[in-house]
Amino acid sequence: MDFSKGLMAASTKPLILSVLKRGDSYGYQIIQNVKKLTGGTLKWSDGMVYPVLHRMEKEGFITSEWQGKPGEKLRKYYSITERGKQELIVEKEQWNFLHGVLSKFWEQSLT
Amino acid sequence: MDFSKGLMAASTKPLILSVLKRGDSYGYQIIQNVKKLTGGTLKWSDGMVYPVLHRMEKEGFITSEWQGKPGEKLRKYYSITERGKQELIVEKEQWNFLHGVLSKFWEQSLT
DNA sequence: ATATTTACTTTGATTATCTATGTACATAAA
DNA sequence: TTTATGTACATAGATAATCAAAGTAAATAT
């Protein structure tokens, strides 16, 4: 699927927050995770995801910490914050609201 | 509701196409219509909607025609094109797909 | 007369998007 | 050994989207 620009972007934030709510993770893993969870449909590029993570951290929705066992590459693990959880609730409400409005149209004329 | 930027933008295109699929309309009416249909939740500004209409026309999803009965203000009526209908189908698929992915997360952890 | 509503337009500062490119280490293959 | 591939993160920068704000102007209501 080739997503229209706006939608793709609008989904990254809530999806990342949802992934992190399940448990801490790092950029590369989040990308693989989302790819797997969507059966390969959502293929996020790293250059697309990392800036979003940086921004979300700056906004206080997530925090980061470098971790690495000896002999392993360093990974930047992200955790969702309380503020992030609140934000996720809001985003969820907005998604559901808009989906509801659109669904109302789409139910009526079946195309 | 104070929508996060991305989402609001991502919904204008499919919503406008959905409105126009019901029947021709003009900018001002579309704004009022959406406001009414969402119980006042979605309050689009004109400066936000008109440029979107112009872009969508340039992209061939809608066409416009000035109309006005004598003694009435001229209105620019927009119609959805075949290409616009196709686009709406695609947007609908994408919305449903993403909503499905997000819903899967949101079902599991009830927050 | 004056204010409000209707109706459309454009500007422009700000921000977001995402491809492309770069670094660097680890591991597997040739 | 050297080459390729996979892992892991970062950022620059061209392109484009966003939306408030300000403008025009006619119609209607007060």
pLDDT tens figures, B94-108: 999 999 999 998 986
pLDDT in tens, A93-109: 999 999 999 999 898 65
CATH class of the structural domain B5-105: mainly alpha
What is the arithmetic mean of pLDDT over A15-44? 94
Task: Say what percent of chain A tops pLDDT 90.
Answer: 76
Strand C contact with A22 (CB < 7 A) = no
Domain covering A5-108, topology: Arc Repressor Mutant, subunit A (1.10.10)
Mean pLDDT of chain B: 91
Residue A2 confidence (pLDDT) above 90: no
Domain spans in chain B, listed from the N-terminal domain onward? 5-105
CA nearest neighbour of B76 among B99, B94, B57? B57
User: Cα–Cα distance between B73 and A43 in angstroms, integer?
Assistant: 49
The pLDDT, as a whole number, for residue B110 is: 53
Q: Model confidence at A4, in pLDDT bands (50, 70, 90)?
A: confident
Do residue B13 and residue A3 have CB atoms under 8 angstroms apart? Answer: no
Angle formed by the axes of helices B27-37 and B5-22, nearest 10°: 110
Is strand C within 7 Å of residue B35 (CB)? no
Q: Is-contact A79 A25, C-beta < 8 A? A: no
Cα dist from B46 to B4, B49, B52, B99, whole Å: 18, 5, 10, 28
Are B91 and A7 inside 8 Å of each other by CB? yes
> Within an 8 Å CB–CB cutoff, is residue A4 touching chain B?
yes
The total number of residues written for chain B in this structure: 111
Asked if the C-beta of B91 comes within 8 angstroms of chain A's C-beta atoms, the answer is: yes
Tell me the per-residue pLDDT of B5-54, one tens digit each, with 9 for 90 and over: 788 888 999 999 999 999 999 999 999 999 999 999 999 999 999 999 99
